[in-house]
Amino acid sequence: MIATLAKREALAGLAMVAVGLGFFAASFGIDVREQGGIAPRVFPMAGALLIALLGAVQAGLGTASADPEPEDQMAAEEGDQGHARDAWHVAGLLALSAAYVIGINYFGYLVSTAAAAPIALYLFGVRSISGFAVAAVLCPAVYHLVFFVGLGVFPPFGLWFDLLDVIQGN
Amino acid sequence: MEIFAGLLTVFSDPWVCIWIVAGALIGMVVGAIPGLTSAAAIAMLVPVTFYMEPLSALAFLYVIGKSGRYGGSIAAILFNTPGTAAAAATQIDGFPLSQKGLSSKAMKVATVSSAIGDFTGDVLLILFVGFIARVALMLGPPELFSIYFAAFVVIGSVIGDSILRGLASAALGIVIAMIGLDPITSQDRLTFEFYQLSGGVPLVPIIIGMFVFAEVFAQLEKRDRKVEAFHDPLRDDKAANRLTWAEYRPCLPHVFRSSFIGAFIGMLPGLGSSIAAFISYGEGKRRAANADKWGKGALEGVAAPEAANNAVSGPSMAPLLTLGIPGSTIAAILISVFHIHGFQLGPTLFLTSREIIYSLFAAGLVGIVAYGIIGYYGAAYVGRMILKIPTRILYPLIFLTSFVSAYAARGSLFDVWIMMIAGVAGWLMRKHGFNPPAFIISFVLARGAEEAFRQSLRLSDDGLMIFVQRPVAAVFIVIGVFVILMRARRMSRGAGP
């Protein structure tokens, strides 16, 4: 267990180093020829460098305490199976999120929400067909009425098709 | 005297009163749902408030924050799961009381103590905020930068368990805040050719992502875990759950002491409710005559942390209103509401918008009464209702709401992408022990800090030495360094990185 935790610490540290160095390198793209001198670079660079340095310390501490033991490896493998199942759920929700936003862009809010609501319920364990049907009708209707009618927010219209156009007779 | 005018303003507008009561109810329910926090509720509701009157919007969200801090105790007492981090201290004695069939009594103690603590904190805020604002008016850019510096260090190193990851979270907040146009030279920084980023990374989608979307992912991971069965609070013996004066009187010294502890901690940026609750619990137990009963179901053990937890609420607004430095995540979120309604935070706020500020304080006092009454008589019903809400339906709805809320803030799908990225980042940060609140507060502070830093350098004849030559600035720099050294010392003694 200790070895697994230490490995995670080291990985988290390396991720911090990568993020820090990435932003540090990007900071060199900030133009310093104008009247601000180097000042526009100071905060982004200092922040990025701090992340990288803290990451290096974190990785160092993690690596120093990582000493794999057989029991740890078994426990880690058992835990990994549970994590793998969780990872599939999470990947599914992530894919749904991306597809939902792309769907809103091309098919408008109503159709995309009607499609996304049952899938989200499914991912959380709902298996009722009537529940899916109710969600597909009620969710887009309620959100549309609250946000786009009630609050007057301009709805995101679909580039290819939008049910709102059909409903409004455009 | 301004507070009486504020109370008159609140009571003369029925809509403000309605929003206050709604805020009290929503905050209590959201705070009581394990996993959801009042910060998450406020983040989702911020875009809605852009379309409201300024006082109604601010009062609604402010009261959600207050009531949410209290609502966390309901879940702690009933479900042995703190609704908020601060309620974990309440859980120590609250859940044993619930196991004895005294959950309603414990919730009544939590309600009364929260209301007294909150009221004490608000009164101290009302009495002293004007004085702090007058002092703040005398501060120049070097002093302001050094206060920002101390705030960054405290926020990064004190919130959470790991100083390294806390500081890294704060540093990431600074870097992300630098994206967009440079405030002085107006050149693009770190925009990676996305023209939408020229105006900077918007706060509302980031907050919704970090606190709402990330929680949906966290809950999805937990969906297969077994749900423990809890008893219905309304089935407890009613006579045994009546709270008498004789029972509450021993709690009072703990409540007053904890209120002052909470109010003091609330003024310090980043420390927050959970630290106040645990310090008060520890201090209460140390001084208690019946210390052996604490941890086994002592009413005082519920009263002390709850008073401290809520006493933080009012004073945490002091650095926000007087310096523009948010003392808590909720205060950081409120910044966007102040800005959207045209209020410039900082000491001049008390010169330009005194009326709305004292009306907001008055709304806070009315909100305390509202959640006090609703909680005293209705906490058991709220608990029962939460027992009946299936998370497999609640979280898909929250998932869909986070998208439309992120869109509604500016009517931009680009903001929805930002919300998603922030959500995934927030979920990963929490999973690996990083600190989303430190990230958010630093993100909000960074632009002001940079402006103060660059103005200081322009004023200075000796470069960075200006931060040492000015006594007030030097004191805050020393405080920041001292905090880092103290935390590093604790870390080296075995507390871990």
Cβ distance A120 to B396 less than 8 Å, yes or no, reads: yes
Provide the ipTM. 0.88
Residue B426: predicted pLDDT: 93
Q: Which of B1-15, B262-276, B427-441 has the lowest mean pLDDT?
A: B262-276
Q: In the predicted model, is pLDDT for residue A70 greater than 60?
A: no
Residue B165 confidence (pLDDT) = 86
pLDDT of B445? 84
B113 contact partners, CB below 8 Å, separation of at least 6: B251, B255, B258, B302, B303, B304, B306, B307, B310
**Chain A residues in contact with B216 (beta carbon < 8 A):** 93
Cross-chain CB nearest to B413 (options A48, A98, A104): A104
For chain B, the domains span 2-495
Give the mean pLDDT of chain B.
86
Nearest chain B Cα distance for residue A61, angstroms: 8
Instruction: Report, as an integer, the average pLDDT of B213-222.
Output: 88
Taking a C-beta distance cutoff of 8 angstroms, is the pair B2, B354 a contact? yes
Residue of A nearest to B491 (CA): A61
Residues B434 and B497 sit within 8 Å (Cβ to Cβ): no
For tokens 């500020």, name the residue. Answer: B357
Is the pLDDT assigned to residue A78 strictly greater than 80? no
Q: Given this model, what pLDDT does residue A3 score?
A: 64
Nearest chain A alpha carbon to B173: A47
pLDDT at B307: 94
The residues in A 46-105 lying below 8 A from B, measured between CB atoms, are: 46-48, 50-51, 54-55, 57-58, 61, 85-86, 89-90, 93-94, 97-98, 100-101, 104-105
Could you report the per-residue pLDDT of B304-319, keeping only the tens digit for each? Answer: 999 999 998 888 888 8
Among B47, B167, B187, whose Cβ lies nearest the Cβ of A40? Answer: B187
Q: Which residue of A has its CA nearest to B434?
A: A12
pLDDT tens digits, residue range B7-54?
Answer: 999 999 999 999 999 999 999 988 888 777 788 888 888 888 888 899
State yes or no: pLDDT of B268 exceeds 80: no
Cβ-defined contact of B396 to A121 (cutoff 8 Å): yes
Is A132 touching B (CB cutoff 8 A)? no
**What integer pLDDT is reported at residue B83 of this predicted model?**
65
pLDDT digits (tens, 9 = 90+) for B441-479: 889 888 888 888 888 888 888 888 888 888 888 998 998
- For residue B172, the chain A residues in CB contact (below 8 A) are 19, 47, 51
B232 touches chain A (CB under 8 A): no
Mean pLDDT for B343-363 is 87
- The answer to whether B289 and B339 have CB atoms below 8 angstroms apart is no
B225: nearest Cα among B111, B391, B361 = B391
Between CA A101 and CA A44 the distance in angstroms is: 30
Q: Among partner residues A19, A55, A120, which is closest to B399 by beta-carbon distance?
A: A120
Per-residue pLDDT band for A120 (boundaries 50, 70, 90) equals: very high
In chain A, where the domains are located: 1-68, 85-170
Contact with chain B for residue A121, Cβ under 8 A: yes
What's the average model confidence in pLDDT over B482-495?
Answer: 72
Contacts of A123 in chain B (CB under 8 A): 220, 396
Would you state the pLDDT for residue B451?
87
Model confidence at A34, pLDDT cuts 50, 70, 90, reads low
pLDDT band of B116, cuts 50, 70, 90: very high
**Residues of A with CB below 8 A from B434's CB?**
12
Q: Who among B220, B404, B420 is closest to A143 (CB)?
A: B404
**For B222, nearest residue in chain A (alpha carbons):** A86
How far are the Cα atoms of A34, B82, B441 from residue B274, in angstroms, in the given order? 46, 11, 16
Calpha distance B411→B361 (Å, rounded): 31
Beta bridge partners of B181: B188
Q: Tell me whether B342 touches chain A (CB under 8 Å).
A: no
Confidence at residue A119, expressed as pLDDT on a 0 to 100 scale: 95
CA-closest candidate to residue A5, choices A90, A78, A63: A63
pLDDT, position B363? 95
User: What is the per-residue pLDDT for B360?
Assistant: 94
Contact between A57 and B497 using a beta-carbon 8 Å cutoff: yes
The answer for B179, left when phi > 0, alpha when psi is -120 to 50, beta otherwise, is beta
Cβ-Cβ contacts under 8 Å between A and B: the total is 162
Percent of chain B with pLDDT over 70: 94
